[in-house]
């Protein structure tokens, strides 16, 4: 099976501290994957590298059928390639309405001139309404997103990611600060999304990961410690050592 | 030998006495003093006062070996020597009453009486004679027992030398006892040898000896030797001139038209000349058969002029071919004024050695200048390194704190006239004033705007313009002097090229002290620790019992207070105006940004880089400090492309988190 | 599309109506066309104020919408003035030189006229040669092109350098301030080719129109300024409406997030920076013929900071706020510094407004920043009942667009 994303032996050092150490990682086109690991394992740095925020000292990040190297591309370019990212803290544009937020994220030409002359078509408006329904914000379209609750902002951000129609979704701790019902809804959205695209979820919460019911990769000290089903990795002695301490 | 001299002298004296008795009618019972005798021997020449004949008379006085000789020469040159008509004796005379002169005898130096105006004849040496007397006097003074007089003599020699002084100068070196004066005499002798010695070999030896010397006097002596003038030789360069090099017309040094003007071909007629000639020859609405209305076309003008030349009204213009032919037939050469080729060659070599040495020393001087400018930037920026670099508060009124410090210094100086005391008082006072102002600014404005840097920028800008205008209202718009104490007034001079003023050294030292104080406060004190804690994570610091408000207030006050002290220092170096802070604010921010925010060593490097850069650019184009600043800023903008976070950047995820 | 755009933004219609009404009133009151209760010099002041309002609109676009606090837009304004000033001064001097040479016995050659103009213009800086930058000074069309091209090009180059290396926030402000300082210092030099600190003068005289009194010329420029402001306002409003405006405000509030949505933030900033520089150039080209003189002191960094002050006092992030701020502050400044305001006698001290106005302005600016960040435009919110959302999380607003420094290197 051809891989969508192929991370090959990347390393990165901050001031002598090796945050990522010869990490290799693959994910297929329609796969749901959870990444777990203790604090400082390099989960966020890994996402930073894939999305272009951090440049690795060595190694390659190959993308798509053409196997293009993402290292060296800027964030916007990588996003246009079809990689969407959700941050740990909900980051939506609070001064703008839900509709404006979604419209901005809709998959359309991103160039300054085309955006300047762009006006939404009926199809675009329909798509926005669909997305809003999917994330449960159908009645909040004209509200400023700053007025939404924490969980609603998380969903709005997921909605914006879906609007981008990425081939790969990187989601950083989506369930943080959510009520149990909201978590359930979030799980549904992610599982649904993973049917048509690859989704990588970084999460601490084992219960949440279990509900995703997918392959799990354990990171530790910047490299892969174990990979497999949740039961498989939790039975791994090394993983137990890392999580429980020695 | 000695005996023979005495005999000769005695004979002379006798002769003079006889002569004197013949001519005038001196007091019979007075024996003339030896100097008076010498003067009497030369009385005719002295009274005649002619440049051509006076030589022996001056020599006689100068070589008399009498103590009074210099007194005579000085009096003579000062036009204070008088001859008494009644007996022909010479005296130094001074008008003490109404037409009454007091007479002083040359030999004894005593006042010997008074005489009315009409019994005295003033000896009036003209300037040529005074020059000769001066020369004699100098050689005389060079051997004066009083070292001060000898020094004066050397100084006057250094200023205006001539060939005649070379011999007496050489003679005076041997007996010289004072080592410093002896060294100066030897040096002056070398320079005079270069300029005036008739012996070519001696000159060349002297030139080689002075090769590489940095003194301005050496260059002033050598430069006339290698000065050239461009000459045109229609028949080739003659053998008897000292050619530096030959030139081709059309070069930068010798433009084609200038070269042509040096030949004896017909004069070039410029467009202006053509217009003047045409205007002078308008004849019934046309010139040379061409209507005036057509003369806005240069080609028609030339045609009209050619027609006039044809008619013989105006001189013809040389054609291009004429000019080329004239130039081809002529050799152009740069000719040394100095006839000796060996001397000019030696002088050229010596000058090039000197140039190398001067260049090296200029670099050194430039380095010192850059260092002192860097210290000023550092002083201006160090307060910012605290408020902006450590706290992240952008304070546009920082420059006005510098201004407040400078004005504090000025006011203190108005109250305490002693400059040293006033500076000592002003420094802590300036710190106190600006510390208070900083604390007030932090409490009233900035603390409401933390984490809103752009709004802080604008609010503090409002403070900045208000403070500036307030200073204008109080102190007026003219510059106020802040005078440095005398011990800071001088300069340390290494040689004729390298020197640095004491104020700049003081500022450099002050900058070093500030660096030390900053490091001490930040690394070794409780305040420094708390400041760093509050800067990195205010919430956490607060949770650990640090009061972030208090720490921010004190840190901001500290940064502002340092700006105040910097203001005193800068005020000593520049004029105090209400705009003094404005002049430094952009450079100060640049210094902090270029150096790397949050790191004092970065600020130091930034100041060093900007200071060096500024002086370096100025060196390429010394006449234009504005251009230097322009290019410096452009350089900084480009520099930031490559190191957006400054020379010393915090690395990794910790930066800015 | 245009109609619906105007319909959707009633504030634009209101603004245009107010501007039109104002123009008509001034026209009726002018000495040239009507009752004469508005003096010609006051017409010029009003015309200049409209130009300042236009550059304030440009400033509001970059700062209020995209969060780039540029301290360089008055430099672009000045450059526009210099470009039109070159043509005005060249043509005007040409007329004078040609007239004086016409009295000579023989007609001048073209070269003599050019030399004569050169001597007239550059005599004050000890030169008679035309610098290269004056190559197009005899062509109105080309100089008009340069009015937008020169500021645009400078903004493009500077912006490309600055945005490419991700310099943001106060660092960008300082950098733009440095650019302005460098430009004004450069122009202060005598050999800059623009007459050093003498600047360009006599710009109020239009070449070939000696017979027409300033009463009329000032009205033409007033109309021109009003038209430019109207067009500039509509253009700016059109830019910030729709998705482009959304992206701009997104950049202001969270640059990194916009980047992860796939928008090239640098490209947007550069586009906006350049376009607003061009608008500033146009405003300057209309302003300086009314002022009559331009010199390098006009583009000193302080002028650009004042521009930011106007926008902040008027209320940034809304275009009419910028206009109100520029008009209000510059007119009040003229009132106080022009010596028209009566002194206040406190008994022990006499407050002369010429001296104290700047202090009042500086302090009121601090107060506005602290207590009324919405500026005067915030008053309209009270009237219309527009409320800002209760915000959660971190602070928002233009300053939030200034990213932390660590973004700059990556």
Note the pLDDT tens digit of each residue in B554-567.
889 988 998 999 89
Tell whether B455 and B331 lie within a shared domain: no
Q: Is residue B649 part of a domain?
A: no
- Among candidates C249, C392, C410 on the partner chain, residue whose Cβ is nearest the Cβ of A93: C249
Across the interface, whether the CB atoms of C309 and B445 are under 8 A apart is answered no
What is the sign, positive or negative, of the torsion defined by CA atoms of C143, C144, C145, C146?
positive
Among C105, C106, C131, C101, smallest CA distance to C118 is for C131
Tell whether B219 and B239 lie within a shared domain: no
Containing H/E element for A170?
strand A168-172
Output the pLDDT for position C58. 95
Across the interface, whether the CB atoms of A112 and C264 are under 8 A apart is answered yes
Among B617, B621, B647, smallest CA distance to B632 is for B617
Output the pLDDT for position C4. 60
Using an 8 Å CB-CB cutoff, list chain C residues near B271: 109, 111-112
Query: What residue ranges do the domains of chain A occupy?
Result: 5-92+166-244
- Digit-coded pLDDT (tens) for B300-316: 888 888 888 888 788 88
Tell whether B289 and B246 lie within a shared domain: yes
Among A39, A46, A2, A1, smallest CA distance to A23 is for A46
Output the pLDDT for position A87. 79
How many contacts does A have with B, using Cβ atoms within 8 A?
10
Tell whether B555 and B408 lie within a shared domain: yes
Tell whether B65 and B100 lie within a shared domain: yes
Find the closest chain C residue to B272 by CA distance: C112
Output the pLDDT for position C405. 32
Q: Is the pLDDT of residue B21 over 50?
A: no
Distance CA(B305)–CA(C117), nearest Å, equals 26
Output the pLDDT for position C393. 38
Domain boundary among B177, B199, B227: B227
Alpha helix ranges (H) inside C292-410: 301-314, 319-337, 353-371, 378-384, 406-409
Tell whether B440 and B589 lie within a shared domain: yes
Using an 8 Å CB-CB cutoff, list chain B residues near C329: none
The answer to whether the CB of B378 falls within 8 A of the CB of B604 is yes
* CATH number (domain holding residue B632): 1.10.3470
Q: Is B656 on the interface with A (CB under 8 A)?
A: no
What is the sign, positive or negative, of the torsion defined by CA atoms of C219, C220, C222, C227?
positive
Distance CA(C368)–CA(C348), nearest Å, equals 30
Q: Is residue B295 part of a domain?
A: yes
3-state secondary structure of B553: helix
Cα A81 versus chain centre, distance: 14
Domain boundary among B68, B97, B132: B132
Across the interface, whether the CB atoms of C262 and A164 are under 8 A apart is answered yes
- Digit-coded pLDDT (tens) for A38-83: 777 788 888 888 888 888 888 888 888 777 888 888 888 888 888 8
Output the pLDDT for position B7. 53
For chain B, give the mean pLDDT: 81
The answer to whether the CB of A104 falls within 8 A of the CB of C250 is yes
Tell whether B559 and B627 lie within a shared domain: yes
Q: Is residue B598 part of a domain?
A: yes
- Among candidates A75, A89, A100 on the partner chain, residue whose Cβ is nearest the Cβ of C259: A75
Using an 8 Å CB-CB cutoff, list chain B residues near A17: 652
Tell whether B414 and B493 lie within a shared domain: yes
Alpha helix ranges (H) inside B78-119: none
Architecture of domain A5-92+166-244: 3-Layer(aba) Sandwich (3.40)
Select the more confidently predicted residue: B367 or A87: B367
3-state secondary structure of C121: helix
Tell whether B91 and B116 lie within a shared domain: yes
**Lowest pLDDT segment from B14-28, B603-617, C141-155:** B14-28
Across the interface, whether the CB atoms of C250 and A85 are under 8 A apart is answered no
* Three-class DSSP labels, B265-307: CCCCCCHHHHHHHHHHCCECCEECCEEHHHHHCHHHHHHHHHH
3-state secondary structure of A79: helix
- Digit-coded pLDDT (tens) for B245-281: 888 888 888 888 888 888 877 778 888 888 888 888 8
Chain B: closest CA distance from residue C7 (Å):
34
**Domain carrying residue B560:** 358-642
**Band of the pLDDT at B650, cuts 50, 70, 90?**
low
Among B578, B642, B586, smallest CA distance to B614 is for B586
Cβ count within 10 A of residue A221: 15
- Measured between its terminal Cα atoms, the distance across chain B in Å is 102
Output the pLDDT for position C273. 95
Chain A: closest CA distance from residue C394 (Å):
10
Question: B426 φ, ψ to 5°?
Answer: -65, -35
- List the subunits that have 3+ CB pairs under 8 angstroms with C: A, B
Distance CA(C329)–CA(C308), nearest Å, equals 11
DSSP string, B405-416: HHHHHHHHHHH-
Q: Is residue B401 part of a domain?
A: yes
Q: Residue B218 burial by CB count (10 A; 0-12/13-18/19+): exposed, middle or buried?
A: buried
ipTM over cut 0.90? no
Distance CA(B631)–CA(B651), nearest Å, equals 30
Chain C: closest CA distance from residue A145 (Å):
9
Across the interface, whether the CB atoms of A74 and C259 are under 8 A apart is answered yes
Region B175-193 average pLDDT: 84
Cα B179 versus chain centre, distance: 29
Select the more confidently predicted residue: B216 or C140: C140
Residues 300-359 of B with CB under 8 A from C: 301
Tell whether B428 and B530 lie within a shared domain: yes
Q: How many domains does chain B have?
A: 4
To the nearest whole percent, how much of chain A has pLDDT over 70?
98
* Torsion, CA B453, CA B456, CA B461, CA B463, rounded to 10: -160
- B497 CB contacts (<8 Å, ≥6 apart)? B214, B358, B361, B362, B364, B365
Using an 8 Å CB-CB cutoff, list chain C residues near B451: 395, 399
Region B338-342 average pLDDT: 83
Distance CA(B273)–CA(B302), nearest Å, equals 11
Cβ count within 10 A of residue B70: 18
The CA distances from residue B558 to B17, B437, B624, C350, in Å, are: 92, 11, 37, 36
- Among candidates C250, C253, C265 on the partner chain, residue whose Cβ is nearest the Cβ of A76: C265
Q: What angle do CA A15, A18, A19 make, to 5 degrees?
A: 105
- Digit-coded pLDDT (tens) for B454-496: 888 888 988 998 999 999 989 888 888 888 888 877 788 877 7
Output the pLDDT for position C404. 33
Chain A: closest CA distance from residue C7 (Å):
15
Tell whether B283 and B368 lie within a shared domain: no
What is the sign, positive or negative, of the torsion defined by CA atoms of C176, C179, C185, C186?
negative
- Among candidates B296, B463, B656 on the partner chain, residue whose Cβ is nearest the Cβ of C109: B296
Distance CA(B589)–CA(B582), nearest Å, equals 11
Tell whether B557 and B456 lie within a shared domain: yes
Find the closest chain C residue to B651 by CA distance: C406
Among A121, A122, A153, smallest CA distance to A140 is for A153
**Cα within 13 Å of Cα(C76), Cβ side:** 35
Output the pLDDT for position C63. 92
- Measured between its terminal Cα atoms, the distance across chain C in Å is 40
- List the subunits that have 3+ CB pairs under 8 angstroms with A: B, C
Q: Residue C143 burial by CB count (10 A; 0-12/13-18/19+): exposed, middle or buried?
A: buried
**Band of the pLDDT at B654, cuts 50, 70, 90?**
very low
Look at strands B111-116 and B100-104 and give their pairing.
antiparallel
Positions in chain C whose pLDDT score sits under 70:
1-7, 384-410
Chain C: closest CA distance from residue B634 (Å):
7
Containing H/E element for B133?
helix B127-141
Distance CA(A105)–CA(A99), nearest Å, equals 10
């Amino acid at each position: 099976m051809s891989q969508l994303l192929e991370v090959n032996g990347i390393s990165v050092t901050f001031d002598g501290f090796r945050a990522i150490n010869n990490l290799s990682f693959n994910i297929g086109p329609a796969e749901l994957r959870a990444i777990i690991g203790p604090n400082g394992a390099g989960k966020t740095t890994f996402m930073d590298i894939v999305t272009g925020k951090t440049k690795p000292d060595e190694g390659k990040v190959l993308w798509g059928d053409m196997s293009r190297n993402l290292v060296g591309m800027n964030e916007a370019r990588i996003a246009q390639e079809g990689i969407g990212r959700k941050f740990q803290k909900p980051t939506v544009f609070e001064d703008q309405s839900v509709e404006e937020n979604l419209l901005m994220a809709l998959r359309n030409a991103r160039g300054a001139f085309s955006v300047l002359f762009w006006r939404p078509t009926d199809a675009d408006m329909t798509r926005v309404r669909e997305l809003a329904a999917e994330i449960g914000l159908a009645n909040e379209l004209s509200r400023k997103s700053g007025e939404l609750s924490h969980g609603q902002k998380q969903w709005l951000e997921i909605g914006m990611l879906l609007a981008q129609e990425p081939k790969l979704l990187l989601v950083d701790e989506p369930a943080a600060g959510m009520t149990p019902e909201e978590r359930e809804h979030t799980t549904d959205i992610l599982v649904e999304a993973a049917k048509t695209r690859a989704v990588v979820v970084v999460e601490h919460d084992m219960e949440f990961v279990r509900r995703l019911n997918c392959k799990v990769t354990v990171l530790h000290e910047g490299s892969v410690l174990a990979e497999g089903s949740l039961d498989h990795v939790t039975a791994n002695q090394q993983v137990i050592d890392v999580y429980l301490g020695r | 030998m000695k005996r023979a001299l005495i005999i000769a002298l005695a004979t002379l004296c006798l002769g003079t006495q006889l002569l004197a008795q013949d001519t005038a009618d001196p007091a019979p019972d007075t024996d003339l003093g030896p100097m008076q005798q010498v003067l009497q021997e030369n009385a005719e020449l002295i009274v005649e006062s002619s440049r051509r004949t006076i030589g022996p008379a001056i020599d006689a006085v100068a070589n008399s070996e009498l103590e009074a000789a210099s007194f005579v020469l000085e009096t003579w040159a000062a036009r204070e020597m008088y001859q008494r008509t009644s007996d022909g004796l010479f005296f130094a005379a001074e008008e003490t009453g109404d037409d009454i002169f007091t007479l002083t005898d040359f030999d004894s130096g005593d006042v010997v009486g008074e005489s009315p105006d009409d019994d005295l004849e003033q000896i009036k040496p003209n300037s040529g004679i005074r020059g000769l007397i001066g020369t004699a006097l100098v050689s005389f003074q060079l051997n004066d027992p009083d070292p001060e007089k000898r020094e004066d003599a050397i100084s006057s020699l250094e200023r205006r030398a001539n060939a005649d002084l070379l011999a007496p100068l050489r003679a005076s070196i041997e007996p010289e006892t004072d080592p410093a004066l002896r060294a100066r005499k030897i040096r002056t002798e070398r320079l005079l040898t270069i300029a005036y010695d008739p012996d070519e070999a001696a000159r060349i030896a002297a030139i080689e000896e002075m090769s590489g010397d940095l003194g301005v006097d050496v260059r002033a002596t050598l430069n006339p030797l290698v000065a050239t003038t461009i000459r045109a030789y229609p028949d080739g360069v003659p053998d008897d001139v000292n050619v530096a090099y030959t030139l081709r017309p059309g070069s930068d040094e010798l433009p084609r038209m200038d070269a042509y003007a040096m030949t004896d071909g017909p004069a070039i007629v410029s467009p202006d000349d053509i217009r003047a000639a045409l205007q002078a020859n308008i004849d019934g609405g046309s010139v040379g058969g061409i209507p005036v209305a057509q003369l806005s076309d240069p080609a028609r003008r030339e045609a009209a002029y050619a027609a006039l030349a044809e008619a013989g009204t105006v001189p013809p213009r040389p054609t291009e071919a004429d000019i080329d032919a004239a130039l081809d037939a002529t050799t152009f050469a740069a000719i040394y004024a100095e006839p000796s080729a060996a001397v000019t060659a030696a002088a050229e070599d010596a000058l090039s050695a000197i140039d190398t040495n001067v260049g090296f020393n200029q670099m050194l001087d430039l380095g010192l200048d850059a260092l002192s400018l860097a210290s000023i930037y550092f002083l201006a920026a160090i307060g910012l390194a605290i408020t902006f670099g450590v706290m992240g508060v952008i304070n546009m009124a920082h420059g006005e704190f510098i201004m407040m410090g400078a004005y504090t210094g000025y006011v203190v100086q108005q109250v305490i006239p002693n400059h040293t005391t006033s500076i000592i008082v002003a420094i802590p006072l300036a710190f106190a004033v600006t510390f208070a102002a900083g604390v007030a600014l932090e409490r009233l404005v900035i603390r409401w705007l933390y984490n809103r840097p752009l709004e802080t920028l604008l609010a503090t800008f409002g403070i900045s313009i208000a403070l500036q205008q307030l200073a204008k209202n109080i102190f007026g718009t003219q510059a106020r002097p802040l005078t440095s104490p005398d011990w800071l007034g001088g300069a340390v001079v290494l040689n004729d090229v390298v020197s640095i003023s004491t104020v700049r050294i003081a500022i450099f030292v002050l900058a070093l002290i500030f660096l030390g104080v900053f490091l001490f406060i930040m690394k070794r004190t409780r305040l420094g620790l708390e400041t760093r804690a509050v800067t990195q994570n205010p919430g956490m610091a607060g949770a650990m019992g640090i009061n972030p408000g208090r720490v921010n207030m004190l840190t901001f006050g500290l940064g502002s207070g340092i700006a105040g002290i910097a203001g005193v220092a800068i005020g000593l170096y520049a004029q105090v105006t209400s705009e003094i802070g404005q002049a430094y604010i952009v450079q100060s921010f640049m210094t902090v940004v270029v150096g790397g925010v949050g790191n004092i060593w970065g600020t130091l490097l930034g100041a060093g880089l900007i200071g060096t850069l500024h002086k370096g650019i100025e060196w390429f184009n010394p006449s234009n400090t504005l251009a230097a600043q322009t290019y410096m800023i452009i350089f900084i903008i480009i520099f930031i492309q490559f190191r957006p976070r400054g020379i010393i950047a915090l690395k990794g995820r910790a930066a800015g988190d | 599309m245009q109609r619906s755009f105007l319909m959707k933004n009633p504030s634009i219609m209101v603004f245009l109506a107010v501007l039109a009404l104002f123009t008509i009133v001034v026209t009726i009151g002018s000495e040239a066309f009507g009752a004469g209760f508005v003096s010609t010099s006051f017409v010029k002041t009003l015309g200049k104020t409209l130009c300042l309002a236009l550059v304030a609109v440009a400033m509001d676009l970059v700062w209020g919408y995209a969060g780039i606090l540029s301290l360089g837009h008055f430099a672009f304004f000045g450059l526009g003035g210099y470009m039109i000033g070159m043509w005005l001064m060249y043509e005007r001097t040409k007329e004078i030189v040609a007239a004086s040479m016409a009295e000579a016995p023989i007609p001048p050659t073209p070269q003599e006229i050019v030399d004569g103009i050169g001597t007239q213009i550059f005599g004050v800086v000890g030169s008679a040669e035309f610098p290269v930058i004056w190559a197009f000074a005899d062509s109105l069309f080309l100089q008009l092109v340069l009015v937008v091209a020169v500021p645009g090009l400078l903004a493009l180059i500077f912006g490309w350098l600055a945005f490419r290396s991700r310099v943001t926030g106060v660092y960008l402000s300082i950098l733009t301030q440095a650019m302005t300082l460098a430009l004004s210092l450069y122009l202060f030099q005598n050999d800059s080719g623009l007459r050093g600190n003498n600047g360009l003068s006599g710009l109020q005289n239009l070449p070939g129109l000696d017979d027409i009194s300033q009463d009329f010329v000032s009205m033409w420029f007033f109309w021109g300024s009003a038209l430019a402001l109207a067009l500039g306002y509509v253009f700016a409003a059109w830019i910030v409406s729709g998705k482009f405006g959304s992206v701009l405000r997104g950049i202001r509030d969270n640059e990194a997030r916009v980047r992860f949505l796939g928008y090239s933030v640098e490209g947007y900033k550069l586009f906006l920076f350049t376009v607003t520089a061009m608008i500033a150039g146009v405003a300057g080209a209309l302003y300086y013929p009314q002022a009559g003189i331009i010199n390098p002191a006009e583009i000193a960094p302080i002028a650009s900071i004042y521009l930011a002050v106007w926008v902040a006092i008027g209320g940034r992030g809304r275009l009419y706020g910028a206009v109100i701020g520029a008009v209000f502050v510059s007119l009040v400044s003229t009132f106080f510094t022009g010596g028209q305001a009566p002194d206040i006698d406190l008994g022990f001290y006499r407050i002369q407004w010429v001296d104290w106005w700047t202090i009042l302005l500086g302090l009121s600016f601090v107060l506005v920043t602290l207590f009324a960040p919405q500026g005067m435009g915030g008053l309209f919110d009270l009237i219309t009942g527009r409320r800002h959302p209760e915000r959660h999380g971190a602070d928002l607003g233009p300053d939030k667009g200034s990213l932390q420094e660590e973004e700059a290197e990556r």
